[in-house]
């Protein structure tokens, strides 16, 4: 018996999917467990396996097309099986065109026109207005105008006077521009307006919808803090030298954030209309930029993992995110999110909360600048962090206490290992 294959719901927020690629065509045999297609969701591109044996009898959506969840994308059954009743709602009825009545036109009588005699006009001589001069050939010009023309190197025979009887006066010299003005200036090339457009894919639509919902439903407010990073820089280098693992500043901050959240569960919370859910575990979302937008893979139980484990997971997530190979379970369930633009030289920024989380931390670049230590001005390294909070769940004092704990961990990173 034929089996209908519907567009699967591959994530909790997925409303539609794009069929990125078919690995089978109509008439091909399909075995259970074989990859049938590649589907692009709002968060990643997933390989979709067949759960049935048989022959691919029908494809309901072309590559590159989008369809809502649960709509028919394929039918698998026995060769020659009648599936018309299954795909009735999925097919488009054929529209027959009415036969066109052929109308014969009467032959047109060709009328030959008499050839026209072309009359060429004699070219008219080009005349230029010349300055008036006296009968003896002397050009009428005021003494002041003559002096100015001499100073500017202007040939007065080329100037048309506007004074009495065509006399050249001062204003004629001042306003004169030679006919070859700008001759040595290279003409600018003709520049045309240019633009192009691309269709919004499933991921971009989902990002637009979720961030719009978050920004306009959660009352955001922001807390800013600047931290000294000299100890962090030394700690990282010592860790790399002793453990031979190239951890990043982001890895250390992620661990510090996870430990701080464990001490401040109110920041590690979710808002619902009838309750607030406080999570004692920390599932840390780490924003990763990809070609089509942004994905947030989740380091599960981050507060219980050491730096090498966090480093390994974040690095693996980043590589697979760029190839759209993350699984739905790896991008769901975050309780808090961090977003780092420091590697792009951004000193500080604000992020939109990744709902249903109550907060998100924006991490800026490490900047070297003069700072005050022990009442003296010295050169030091600092970093700015911005915490965006949902005021329904996180009050100002709550967010501030979280940042204070985080500051202690970052400025004294050895405490992370204790």
pLDDT in tens, 192-226: 888 888 878 777 887 888 888 888 888 999 999 99
Domain with residues 3-84, CATH architecture: Beta Barrel (2.40)
Closest CA to 290 of 254, 255, 326, 257: 326
Average pLDDT over residues 274-296: 91
| CA–CA dist 60, 57 (Å, integer) | 10
| Whether 266 contacts 393, CB under 8 Å | yes
| CA–CA dist 358, 375 (Å, integer) | 38
Average pLDDT over residues 47-74: 86
| Whether 257 contacts 416, CB under 8 Å | no
| CA–CA dist 389, 359 (Å, integer) | 4
Catalytic site residue from 183, 264, 283, 391: 391
The pLDDT of residue 240 is 96
CATH no. for 202-417: 3.30.559.10
333 CB-near residues (< 8 Å, 6+ apart)? 283, 298, 300
Question: Torsions phi, psi of 242, nearest 5?
Answer: -85, -35
Tokens of 166: 């065509």
Closest CA to 385 of 230, 229, 263, 216: 229
| CA–CA dist 80, 357 (Å, integer) | 52
Establish whether domains 3-84 and 202-417 are of one fold.
no
The answer to whether residue 44 scores a pLDDT higher than 90 is: no
Helix (H, G, I), strand (E, B) or coil at 360: strand
Q: Which residues of 242-271 are buried (b: 16+ CB within 10 A; e: fewer)?
A: eeeeebbbbbbbbbbbbbbbbebbbbbbbb
Q: Which residue has the higher pLDDT, 108 or 153?
A: 153
pLDDT, tens only, 2-42: 888 888 887 777 788 888 889 988 888 888 888 888 888 77
CATH no. for 143-175: 4.10.320.10
Tokens of 219: 């009352």
The answer to whether residue 339 scores a pLDDT higher than 80 is: yes
Identity of the highest mean pLDDT range in 66-75, 141-150, 387-396: 387-396
Burial class (CB in 10 A: 0-12, 13-18, 19+), 131: middle
State the chain's maximal CA–CA distance in angstroms: 115
Helix (H, G, I), strand (E, B) or coil at 56: strand
The answer to whether residue 122 scores a pLDDT higher than 80 is: no
The pLDDT of residue 262 is 96
The pLDDT of residue 189 is 59
Average pLDDT over residues 105-110: 50
Scan for tokens 């990763």, then name that residue: 288
Give the CA angle between residues 23, 27, 32 to the nearest 5°: 55
| Whether 93 contacts 32, CB under 8 Å | no
Give the CA angle between residues 65, 70, 71 to the nearest 5°: 45
| Whether 223 contacts 399, CB under 8 Å | yes
Dihedral class, residue 19 (left if φ above 0, else alpha if ψ from -120 to 50, else beta): beta
Average pLDDT over residues 90-107: 44
The proportion of the chain whose per-residue pLDDT surpasses 90, expressed as a percent, equals: 41
Question: Torsions phi, psi of 151, nearest 5?
Answer: -65, -35
Mean pLDDT of the chain: 84
| CA–CA dist 11, 327 (Å, integer) | 9
Q: Is 391 a catalytic residue?
A: yes
The pLDDT of residue 319 is 92
**Alpha-helical segments (H) within 218-340:** 230-243, 249-263, 307-322
Helix (H, G, I), strand (E, B) or coil at 270: strand
Scan for tokens 């097309």, then name that residue: 65
Give me the residue spans of the domains in the chain. Answer: 3-84, 143-175, 202-417
Q: In whole angstroms, how far apart are CA 174 and each of 144, 168, 177, 180? A: 11, 11, 9, 17
| Whether 58 contacts 75, CB under 8 Å | yes
The answer to whether residue 164 scores a pLDDT higher than 60 is: yes
């Amino acid at each position: 018996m034929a089996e209908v294959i519907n567009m699967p719901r591959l994530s909790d927020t997925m409303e539609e999917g794009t069929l990125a690629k078919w690995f089978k065509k109509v008439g091909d045999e399909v075995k259970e467990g074989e990859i049938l297609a590649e589907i692009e969701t709002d968060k990643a591109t997933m390989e979709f396996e067949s759960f049935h044996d048989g022959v691919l009898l029908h494809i309901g959506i072309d590559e590159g097309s989008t369809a809502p969840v649960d709509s028919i994308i394929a039918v698998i059954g026995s060769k020659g099986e009648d599936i018309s009743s299954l795909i009735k709602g999925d097919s488009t009825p054929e529209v027959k065109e009415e036969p066109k009545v052929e109308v014969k036109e009467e032959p047109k009588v060709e009328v030959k026109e008499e050839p026209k005699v072309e009359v060429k006009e004699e070219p008219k001589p080009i005349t230029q207005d010349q300055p008036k001069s006296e009968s003896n050939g002397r050009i009428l010009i005021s003494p002041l105008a003559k002096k100015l023309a001499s100073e500017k190197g202007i040939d007065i025979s080329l100037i048309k006077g506007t004074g009495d009887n065509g006399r050249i006066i001062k204003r004629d010299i001042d306003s004169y521009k030679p006919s070859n003005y700008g001759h040595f200036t290279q003409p600018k090339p003709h520049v045309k307006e240019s633009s192009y457009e691309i269709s919004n894919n499933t991921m971009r639509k989902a990002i637009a919808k979720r961030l719009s919902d978050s920004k306009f439903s959660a009352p955001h407010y922001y807390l800013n803090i600047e931290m000294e990073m000299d100890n962090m820089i030394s700690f990282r280098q010592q860790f790399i030298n002793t453990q031979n693992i190239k951890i990043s500043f982001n890895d250390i901050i992620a661990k510090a954030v996870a430990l701080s959240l464990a001490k401040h569960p109110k920041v590690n919370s979710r808002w619902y209309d009838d309750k607030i859910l406080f999570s004692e575990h920390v599932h840390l979302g780490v924003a990763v930029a990809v070609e089509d937008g942004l994905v947030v893979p989740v380091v599960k139980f981050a507060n219980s993992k050491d730096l090498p484990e966090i480093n390994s997971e974040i690095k693996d997530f980043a590589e697979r995110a760029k190839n759209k190979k993350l699984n739905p379970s790896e991008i769901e369930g975050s309780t808090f999110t961090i977003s780092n633009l420091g590697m792009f030289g951004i000193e500080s920024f604000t992020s939109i909360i990744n709902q249903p989380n109550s907060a998100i931390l924006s991490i800026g670049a490490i900047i070297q600048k003069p700072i005050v230590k022990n009442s003296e001005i010295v050169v030091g390294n600092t970093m700015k962090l911005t915490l965006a909070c949902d005021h329904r769940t996180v009050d100002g004092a709550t967010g501030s206490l979280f940042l204070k704990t985080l500051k202690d961990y970052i400025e004294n990173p050895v405490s992370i290992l204790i």
